[in-house]
Chain A
């Protein structure tokens, strides 16, 4: 297994367009997370899944954002009607939670630029 992968690695779009990002987690991991990171800040939690169930969603996530993990494997994050403020690195992470221990493994991220 080569770790968490994300596609695309870079995306440039015009304001108002929709974009969709894909994340493929480590195969045996049951949890999948989406984060957003802007320059000089730590990753900011957006949402996470346990298997196919979306268990938590950040209050910062507007209704223009939607995430799915239809079969409990890969996940997609869609941003509708993009705004310049959506420009950021979108990171996906996966983990296998056992008891109270959990290590999240991050993918390389998708860098979004909204013009």
Chain B
């Protein structure tokens, strides 16, 4: 059974760097999938943050690209998110997910998700 589990500090101060890890169990992240981060601010819709392949190839949301870094550790079977200079508006549930799809990146979807971790940014 494939499971994804987010972990990391749950309380940050404005201007600090958010750092999260997604640990994957039951499935090797070196297989043919991209892995992504998505967040859900309270009262708003989901926002895609970025996606990474085990080779290190990435797609980032252009609106966040200047502040986002994703990395992958195949030996530990996890991937990571760093988002610097966070603000209170970035308080949200942060989810990691596996991406699926048979043809073209534009057709991809998120076929397995973690339960999410609530990150609160205080001003």
Mutual binders A and B: no
